[in-house]
Structures are given as C-alpha cells and as structure tokens.
Structure 1
C-alpha cells in the first residue's frame, strides 16, 4: 500500500510544476502552501523536504536582483567615480521604481469625505534605496550623508523625512553627533549566508512569521478600503505604528508573491525585528480576537461583512453620481 503522505506530496508538487519551469520554484510554492491555514474541508498539505527548500531558497536568492546589485556594488569598489556611475546605471535597469502604499488612515479619511487621496498619503519612492547598496560596496564615505538620508527615508524608517536623516547623518559625518555603527549594514546585505546556516526549525519559523505578517499587513491596508473598524483592529494597527513598521512591511510583503519575492521576504523575516513584531501582534490578537465583531452588533461576522459591502456599494454609487455630474457640464467634478 502506498503511503498517503507520499501521494499527497506528489500531488502538492504537481500543483506547482509546469512544463519548462525549474522544480525549485515549485518547491518554494509548495513550502508556502504547506504553511497556510487549512480551508474548511481541506486536508493538510504535507511539508516538502527542508533540504530541498533550503536549496531552492539559496538558488533563488543568489539570482535575485538585490544580490546582483550587492555583487555589482562590491565589484565597483576601488573603481572611483566611473565604478559608481556604472553601478547606478545598472541599478536603473534592474530596480523597478515603487512608491510605498498610501497611508491607509489618510486614504480612508479621503474616501469617507468624498475627496481625492492626498499626495502626502503616498509612501516615499523606493529608488533611493539603491544608495544603501552602493554604501555596502563602495563604502559609506563614498556615498555620503545626503544619499544615505534619501535611502533611509525611502525605507520609511521611524517615520523620519529625508531632511531629518540628512541632519542626523550629516552631524555624525562632521563629528558633531554620535558616531554611526555601519557594521549591521554589511551583515544585513548577506541574505544567502543566513539561509545556508539556518536550522530547519529557523526556516519554518521564518515562514510562520512571513505568512502571519502578510495577514496583519492585509488587515492594516484594508482599513483604507473602508473595512468596518473595531477596537481589536485598532489595537493591532496601534502595535504596528508603535514599532514604525508599516513602511517596512509594505516593502517586504506581497499578498500574492512570486517564488522569488517569497524567498527574499522569508530571508528578511529571519531577522529578529520581524519575529518580535509578529509575536507582539499575536499577543494582541490573543488579548482581543474580535477583529470582525462590531461592538453592539449581535450578528457578529455576518453583520460585519454586510456593513463592509454596504460601505463599498455607497462609495461606488457616490463615485458614479459624481461622474454623472461631470458629464453634465464643465462645472462637474471628475474623479
């Protein structure tokens, strides 16, 4: 008799295999699927061999854009201005510009008021982060405080602006402020080494953190899409805000990631700050799990869902009405 686990493992791999596709990508998708919660009536997906997962992660990470940029930066070291120009030219070709997600609270306020989302709700442009890569390869002194300030602001670190970072880093550069320890920058640039050295348990733990943070991130974003608010949701958002982590989550979380995105995000989630945030959010969720129960509404999740659908329908109808007015003459407001 064939072991059912063998049959289910073969079926899981087959779901993610396609003709001409490298099997390591299928292994990563299988690993992600095995970590997801069970749907009603579904059978648990067996775990793929962790050795195969590690091999697939290393293979993908070594070919990732971030790793290629780090290698380019290191090869440009000592090449002077010519090497720096070549690095930035390559980065322009490799890095896809991304402006961080708009602040959900500002988006919600604009939608509720029937107004356009303000420009200040948008996150910073991510292209500035290439300066961090340059600092890894060329050295912090070669890049300079102003460029690094742009990079840290692009990451959304601590909610500080480019001007805030430039003032602090400039003071440190001139010896007028506390010196900056740049050692962690070099260590965090190595995403392949930690995956190679990680135990099986650490890889599974990083997956748990990543999938958990993906769910909390989606809940945070949906607040901007008029999801009915509850005290439990507000408490979770407050935890994220206390840690100043929404911009970081926005950069590393993809709701429907490719295997490459999954691998890079999992490597990031091996770092303590993300595991600590996950634990804090899980503790808050355990303390108040009624995220989909509106106070005073005895219909529970059903009433919650109905209220959300009404809010979305009202928003759609309101927008259509505004659009209709715009057709009646030049005085109408287009949306």
Structure 2
C-alpha cells in the first residue's frame, strides 16, 4: 500500500494506515486460500480509498474533515484514473453531523436563541463580534452583466464593495436576526445587512418588499432555511442516499453557477449559454445560485458541508431539475453543427478576451 501511494506522490506511514483501519475507514485486506497457506491480497478499491484519505488528511487535522473532503471528491470522474470510491456511510454521516454541530454560525444562533436576559444578549454580541476576525467577509453574489460591462469599460470593480468591518457587522446582524428575531435588530438594520452582504439585491427594492414587520419575519424564516441552520441540523435526520442526492444537486448547481459567473469574466457567449443564463434570470435565481455554490469558489470543507445542508431543501432540488432540463432541452452549450464553438476555440476566444484587457505595452 505504501509503495502504491508513493507512486502517486502521497506519503503515508504504517501507523497512519492502521489508524484509518481502526476508525473503520479502510477495509482489511482480503485473505485468499485456506488454512496456513492463505495469502493476504490488496484490493484496487482499497488503494483508491487510502489515496483519497492521504490527499485530505494531514498532521493535526481532524480526520472527520478529511472524510467530508473524501465524500466531496467521491463519484466525480477522474480522467485516466478509477473513480474515487465512496467513503463508509456511517463515517460520512458522523462527520457531517459533527460539522453541523460545531459550525460557528450555528453555535452563535444557538447561543442567541438561548438568551434569557440582557446579560445573555450582551454576551452573544461580545462573542459574535470577535468570531469573524479571520474570516474573508465579502459578497458572493453580484450582477454578472454589470461586472462584464465594468471589465470591458475598465471601470473599478471595488467602488461599491462593503468594507471588511461593515461586512462583519452585517453577518452579526443577520445571525442576531436568525437567533433573536428581526425585532431585536429592527427591520431597517435587517434590510441594510442583507443589502451589504448581497449587493445584487438593491436596497430600495428590499425596503419596498420588506418594509413591514410581517414580511421581515417571513424573510427571517426564509433566510434560516436557505442558510441551512435549522435546529437540529438537516444532516442529522437523513440517510446516505439523501446526502448523495444533495451532493449531486450541489455539483449540478455549482456547474451552472460557474457558467453564470463566467459571463461576468468575459466568457464567450453561445446560444446554449445565453439560453441557460436567461432561464436562471427568468427564475430569479442568479444571486441565490451563486450564494448556494460559494463552496465551488472557496473549496473549504465547511462551505461544502453548508452547501449540502442547503441542497437537501426541496426548492434546491426543484431548481436543479429546472436547470438540468434547460441544459438537456435547450441549445447545446458548446459545439453545434458548424463547429463554431468547439472547446478549443471557446477557450482560445476566452483567453484572447482576457488578454485584451492588459495594458498596452509602451
């Protein structure tokens, strides 16, 4: 096993392999033959499982995080290699439940919900105010057409971005709204926090839609559902089949989001891509799509787990079904009878568009 892993540039010690076996993550070698002449054989699938763990496990890192990363990788086609086998279902479930329970935002919402006095509320704000010092707080959603126009016009893209401090404050406000209720922070502060983190939602529109308390309360409930921070965690009550379905939904939505974001970054347009983007806009799902699939940009384990939580919601499954139907029934994203949009030409045109923005040499 160690030699096979070394061929892939992966280092692993016998002690580590034994720990993985003891944790139920690797099967024991099969024995063939009978009696004293039996021999131990190493199955190819076991090598792939050990390779997945070796890619994601490292000294000092909780092994449950590696299991979630392995689960994220499993089932994805690997050109020239065997597909990564699925990790043991019990290990996946335990790791995701643990991640949900230890999620900083979930803990803060829980602390806010348990507040019974002004001192408790003050303690919540004190802890929440220090919780995101090392977190990159920036909006994930944006208007793709505006960003494309800004790039082509060489206009500064950071003019309207919130500052780091205002972003952290907005996150704390939304957590307080989810845990203590919108009435605690006030509808105006709630709306401003949404507008700060998700600038694709115009402040004026939010104020007109959420201007009364009843509607703000409805948005409060929707926000908690979208963020997947219900109590208990969604992952606690589902089986491996539902988790794998959520992973598929997350992959599908992430793929569409990549095409959707790509238009902002000067990706060449085709009839199929334009039709897909139009369908996303028709459903009013552009900013939601980018928020749900933020994991595809950060590649952080916790963001993947949060995405799974969201993608178990019925609306996420329906959205994925609608967009997959558009891709199946609509014009092809690339190619076509005239070969005008082969993958090679598409990438060459995209690179040429990006290079055209470089300052001219003097």
State the TM-score, normalized to the length of structure 2. Answer: 0.75
- Describe how 1:258-273 pairs up with structure 2 within 5 A: 258-273=300-315
Q: Is the 8 A contact 2:195 2:203 kept in 1?
A: yes
Q: Is the 8 A contact 1:108 1:225 kept in 2?
A: yes
Partner of 1:6: 46
Partner of 2:324: 282
Q: Is the 8 A contact 1:27 1:48 kept in 2?
A: yes
Partner of 1:72: 111
Q: Is the 8 A contact 1:149 1:163 kept in 2?
A: no
Give the whole-Å Cα distance in 2 for the aligned partners of 1:151 and 1:102: 16
How far is the alpha carbon of 1:2 from its aligned partner?
3.4
Give the whole-Å Cα distance in 1 for the aligned partners of 2:261 and 2:349: 18
Identify unmatched segments of 5+ residues in structure 2.
Answer: 1-40
Aligned Cα root-mean-square deviation (Å): 3.1
- Describe how 1:18-167 pairs up with structure 2 within 5 A: 18-36=58-76, 38-75=77-114, 77-80=115-118, 82-95=119-132, 96=135, 97-117=137-157, 119=159, 125=167, 127-154=169-196, 156=198, 160-167=201-208
How far is the alpha carbon of 1:68 from its aligned partner?
1.7
The equivalent position to 2:260 in structure 1, one of 220, 239, 256, is: 220
Residues 1:312 and 2:354 are matched in the alignment:
yes
Q: Is the 8 A contact 1:103 1:122 kept in 2?
A: no
Give the whole-Å Cα distance in 1 for the aligned partners of 2:138 and 2:221: 27
How far is the alpha carbon of 1:122 from its aligned partner?
8.3
Q: Is the 8 A contact 1:210 1:269 kept in 2?
A: yes
The equivalent position to 1:210 in structure 2, one of 216, 240, 250, is: 250
Deviation string 1:156-186 (CA, Å, 9 cap, x unpaired) is 49x643344344444345xxx8984866666
Partner of 2:27: none
Give the whole-Å Cα distance in 1 for the aligned partners of 2:252 and 2:187: 35
How far is the alpha carbon of 1:31 from its aligned partner?
0.5
How far is the alpha carbon of 1:153 from its aligned partner?
3.5
How far is the alpha carbon of 1:132 from its aligned partner?
3.4
Give the whole-Å Cα distance in 1 for the aligned partners of 2:101 and 2:219: 27
Q: Is the 8 A contact 1:230 1:292 kept in 2?
A: yes
Give the whole-Å Cα distance in 1 for the aligned partners of 2:128 and 2:211: 25
Give the whole-Å Cα distance in 2 for the aligned partners of 1:132 and 1:301: 42
The 1:155–1:282 alpha-carbon spacing in structure 2 relative to 1, beyond 3 Å, is farther
Partner of 1:250: 290
Aligned length: 313
The 1:184–1:102 alpha-carbon spacing in structure 2 relative to 1, beyond 3 Å, is closer
Larger helix fraction of residues: 1
Question: Structure 1 stretch 51-60 or stretch 62-71: which is displaced more?
Answer: 62-71
Partner of 2:19: none
Q: What secondary structure, in the 3-state scheme, does the structure 1 residue paired with 2:212 have?
A: helix
Give the whole-Å Cα distance in 2 for the aligned partners of 1:221 and 1:169: 28
Q: What secondary structure, in the 3-state scheme, does the structure 2 residue paired with 1:292 have?
A: coil
Q: Is the 8 A contact 2:272 2:330 kept in 1?
A: yes
Identify unmatched segments of 5+ residues in structure 1.
Answer: 325-335
Give the whole-Å Cα distance in 2 for the aligned partners of 1:264 and 1:60: 9
How far is the alpha carbon of 1:236 from its aligned partner?
1.6
Give the whole-Å Cα distance in 2 for the aligned partners of 1:270 and 1:9: 26
Q: Is the 8 A contact 1:27 1:56 kept in 2?
A: yes
